Amino acid sequence: MSQSPSRDNVWRSSRARGGTPPRSSINHSGFTRSTKFAPSGTPSPKKNEIMNVLSVARSGGFGDDGDSLKSSAIQDKYWSHIAPQIPPLLSPSPQSTRAEEKTSLLINIRKLREGIHSSKRCDIFSKMITSTSLFLALLFDAERDLDACMTNVLESSEDGNALLVCLLVSLALGVYRFQSAVKPRRSELSSLLGHERFTWLLDVSSSLNQRNYYRLSTLLDVVPPPSLDLQLQAMSISSSLTSPPPDLPKLATERAVTRVKKYASNQIAWPTINAAYRELHLQMESETRRWVSQSLSLPETKVSLEDWLSEMQASGKIKAKTDIEGRWMILKTR
């Protein structure tokens, strides 16, 4: 009976022919089995390529140099994979809902933005990604991403929608921050934003600076509509290019306006209420409750107002009266 050749003999024969030894792994019994051929379900190289780039654990792509995202073709494929994730995350929901998905999306789009910056790509696609990053960072309350995006937009962006959102967010941080953002590009902002929106923005800033709450609230109730120029240009690049949701600029503008309202309430409305009243009667369904919510730019829901009251009590500005439900005593500072 002939003896089967040993593994060492097969290896030597393979080396003599210029081949390479077969790959193997050890099973639980201590014997080796060949793994020369990949399983039938192995993903294609192209699919592996995209999945490697999409992996949150990777920071610079794949390969020896890790520069895959410097390729315009990979950038386009990358965007086509993450763009469909955006619309479902824009639906109204509690802050905690789908937080992990939002964080993952922000990480992926940040990687795309960094790849575009590294490749020095400058076209409509790159501008669209910069604007989309800004809008999502604002809508998802990602302050670190928001700061980075605002710096890029304020320095060089020509997207009027993104510039308007940045300037409104700057205004919500203080008039001085707004003036610092406007000054370097004041001469071109009128044409980039459009005369109507630029004039409206200056009026909002002036009203806030003069502490004219009535005029400010009137202005913020009628926000000039966003422009669709950049999105239309982006759609014309390629028939296969996935555009961001068309209502994204509108949603981001509304969120930025809400920030301005909250800043105004802290700077104007609350000091006025604090000076004029000693108590607040905030029983459910009362006119006073609705008036306070509106004055402080709070949504008319129980949770929102109750959260605000809890924060104010924790900061020592008001105190709940224990004998009567819904009554709050304003603590005067000396």
Instruction: Please return the burial class of 40, using the count of CB atoms within 10 Å of its CB with bins 0-12, 13-18 and 19+.
Output: exposed
Q: Profile the chain (334 residues) by mean pLDDT over runs of 10 residues.
A: 50 50 43 42 53 49 58 87 90 69 92 89 88 94 92 88 94 87 86 90 91 84 74 51 84 92 82 87 86 75 77 88 87 76
Q: What is the pLDDT of residue 23?
A: 46
Cβ contact 56:108 at 8 Å? yes
CA dihedral (235, 237, 238, 243) positive or negative? negative
Q: What is the pLDDT of residue 25?
A: 42
Q: What is the pLDDT of residue 124?
A: 84
Q: What is the pLDDT of residue 307?
A: 83
